[in-house]
Amino acid sequence: MVQMLRRFRPHCAVLFSLFVILASATPALADSGDLGRVQNFATNVIQVLVTLAGLLAAGFFVVGGIGYITSSGNPENLDRSKKTIMYSSIGLAVSIAAFVISNIVTDLATTAFK
């Protein structure tokens, strides 16, 4: 259990720093009634999150690749590195899909409210 907590400590630090960044963001100014400002804010937040997810996935690709290269035939380390690469690619695919879906919804909402 202690080893599992030590393994997830860097992830918690990343999530906490992401929370601090998002919590300190400026408000969307939705009370002014200007839908364009809210749309721009949401689009910018989604772009930042997808960029961070891409950087995080690239980092995990590197970690998994280094682990794969340095596994020295150890099946446990090899399997862990393969899982790291697989899960980072799944996470990257999910974040890109979320970006595409949000752009589609934004385009549909923009044409519907004109």
The closest alpha carbon to 42, from 113, 106, 104, belongs to 106
The CB-side HSE value for 90 (13 A sphere, CA atoms) comes to 6
* More confident of the two residues 39 and 14: 39
Is the per-residue pLDDT at 90 higher than 60?
A: yes
pLDDT of 11 reads 63
pTM of this prediction exceeds 0.75: no
CA separation for the pair 41, 34 (Å, rounded): 11
Contact 50, 97 (CB under 8 A): no
Mean pLDDT of 38-49: 83
- Convert the pLDDT of each residue in 48-88 to its tens digit: 888 898 899 999 999 999 999 998 888 999 999 999 999 99
